[in-house]
Structure 1
Amino acid sequence: MSPRVYKSDKRQAAAEDTRLRILTAARSLLAAAKPTQITLDGIAKAADVSRQTVYNAFGTRAGLLEALFDGLATRAGVDLSEAFAAPDVDAALRRFTETFSRFWAADPVAIRRLRGMAVLDSELDRLLRERDDMRRTALGSLLAARGVEVGPETIDVVWQLTGFEVYDGLARRDPERDPTGPIADAVSAVYAAARG
C-alpha cells in the first residue's frame, strides 16, 4: 500500500493567512507616517512572525517584493482587458492611462517609498525596472494590436507619461484634481503628433 498524500486545507489556509499578514505588514510599514527601515526583520516583527517564516512564505526577499507588487496591482484592480477591447486607438490609450493612473493612485505613498528605496537598493531597482518594462511592452502590444506603427521613441515618451513620476507630480501639484485627464490628454497629443 502506497503512502497517501496528505494535504490539509486548514494548513493551506493558515499559510495563505500568514502570507497575507506579512504583505499587509510590509505595505503598512511603507505607508506609515514615520516609516521605519523596511527590512525583512522589520516586516517579520510587524507581522508577528519569524524571519524564517517570511522566507518560507516567499522564498527570497525578491519573492516578497514581487508578491507586494502583485498585491498592490490586485488592490488597484489593474486589468488591461478594457484597453485592448476599446473601439479605437484613442479610447485604448485612454483606458491604458486610466488603468495605470488607478494603480498609482491606489497607494502612492507606498509606491513613492519603494521607488525612493530603489535608488539605493539594486535588487529593488531591478524589480521595479522589470515592472516598468512590462508596462512598456503592454503599451507596444496595445498599439500593435491596433495596427499602429510608431517608433520606439514615441512609445518611450508615452510610456514615460503613463509612469508614476508624471502621475505623482500632477497629483501632488493639485490634490483636488484627478490627474488622469491631463495624463491622458498628453498621451493622446504625443500619439497624434507621432502619427502626423
Structure 2
Amino acid sequence: MSPRPYRLGQRQAATEQTRNRILIAARELLMSDEGISGFSIDAVARQADVARMTVYHQFGSKTGLLEALCDSLATSGGMEQLASAFRQADPFDALDTYIAVFARFWQADRLVTRRLRGLAALDPEFEQVIRARDERRRKGLHVLVQRFEERQSPPALQTHEDIVNMLYTLLSFECFDTLAGPARPVEEVVPAIQRLARAALVSGKAM
C-alpha cells in the first residue's frame, strides 16, 4: 500500500480527534460552575489545550462551533429517532412519538442545553443557531398537524397555525424543564405533555 493514503488517513484521524476534543471542551465549559459567563472561543481553546486559531480552523467561526456542538448533542440525544414518528400511521401515535423523542433529547444533556439557550438570549450568533434549530421542530409539527387535519376538521375557531404554535410551546425545552423541575427526569412529564398535546389537537385548547 502506498504511504500517501496511510498518511492522509492519519491526518484525518488526528483532525477528528482535535475536533472532538474541542467539542468536549465546549461541553465541559458549559457544565462548569462559571457556565455561560465563562464561555468563549478563547476559553474553549484553553480547555481543549489548542491554539485559538485551531478552533477557527476546525469550525470556521463561533457559529460553526455552536452548530457542531448542537449536532453532537442531537446525535447523543437520539434525535435520529424522530423519523420513527413520521412512520406512524395514526397521527396521535405520531405526535406521541415525536414528544417522547424530544423529551429524551432534552434530558440527555439538560444542563448543557439550558446554558446554550441562556447564551442564545445574550449572543445574537448563538440566538440565530438556536432559533434555526427550534424552527425545525416547528416544521415537523406542521407536518403532523397537517396529517391530523387530513383525517378530520380542525377545532372550531383554531387555525392550523394556532395549533402548531400551541404544540410548539408544549414541546419546547423550557416547558419540559419547568414541568420536570430540579428533581424529576424529563421523561416523567411526557404523559402530561402528550395529554395536553392531544387536547390541543382535539379541542384547540391545552386543557
- TM-score, length-normalised on structure 2? 0.86
1:97·1:184 contact (CA, 8 Å) conserved in 2? yes
Match of 1:169 among 172, 178, 184: 178
Q: Matched residues in 1 for 2:94 and 2:183: separation?
A: 26
> Residue 38 of structure 2: SS of its match in structure 1?
coil
Q: Matched residues in 1 for 2:6 and 2:20: separation?
A: 24
1:83·1:142 contact (CA, 8 Å) conserved in 2? no
- TM-score, length-normalised on structure 1? 0.90
Q: Matched residues in 2 for 1:99 and 1:19: separation?
A: 27
Compare the two structures and name the one with the higher helix fraction. 2
> Residue 49 of structure 1: SS of its match in structure 2?
coil
Q: List structure 1 runs of 4+ shifted beyond 6 angstroms.
A: 4-7
How far the C-alpha of 1:87 sits from its partner, in A, is 2.5
How far the C-alpha of 1:187 sits from its partner, in A, is 0.9
Q: Matched residues in 1 for 2:39 and 2:106: separation?
A: 20
Q: Quote the residue 2:41 is aligned against.
A: 40
Match of 2:107 among 81, 105, 108: 105
How far the C-alpha of 1:174 sits from its partner, in A, is 5.0
> Residue 179 of structure 1: SS of its match in structure 2?
helix
> Residue 178 of structure 1: SS of its match in structure 2?
helix
> Residue 204 of structure 2: SS of its match in structure 1?
helix
Match of 1:127 among 126, 129, 141: 129
CA offset digits 1:130-177 (Å, max 9, x no partner): 111111011112333453665101101101100101000011165167
Q: Matched residues in 1 for 2:58 and 2:115: separation?
A: 23
Q: Matched residues in 1 for 2:163 and 2:146: separation?
A: 13
CA offset digits 1:103-137 (Å, max 9, x no partner): 11011111111111211111111111111111101
Q: Quote the residue 1:20 is aligned against.
A: 20
Aligned pairs for 1:155-194 (under 5 A) are: 155-172=164-181, 175=184, 178-194=188-204
Q: Matched residues in 1 for 2:10 and 2:201: separation?
A: 52
Q: Matched residues in 2 for 1:38 and 1:27: separation?
A: 10
Moved more, 16-25 or 29-38: 29-38
Residue identity (%)? 39
Moved more, 8-17 or 172-181: 172-181
1:62·1:123 contact (CA, 8 Å) conserved in 2? yes
| 1:140 aligns to 2:142 (yes or no) | yes
How far the C-alpha of 1:52 sits from its partner, in A, is 0.5
Letter in 1 for 2:199: A
1:76·1:103 contact (CA, 8 Å) conserved in 2? yes
RMSD (Å) for aligned C-alpha atoms: 2.1
Count residues in correspondence: 192
Q: Matched residues in 2 for 1:173 and 1:31: separation?
A: 16
Q: Quote the residue 2:94 is aligned against.
A: 92
Letter in 1 for 2:62: R
2:180·2:189 contact (CA, 8 Å) conserved in 1? yes
> Residue 86 of structure 1: SS of its match in structure 2?
coil
- Which consecutive unaligned segments of at least 5 residues does structure 1 have? none
How far the C-alpha of 1:194 sits from its partner, in A, is 3.2
Q: Matched residues in 2 for 1:64 and 1:95: separation?
A: 30
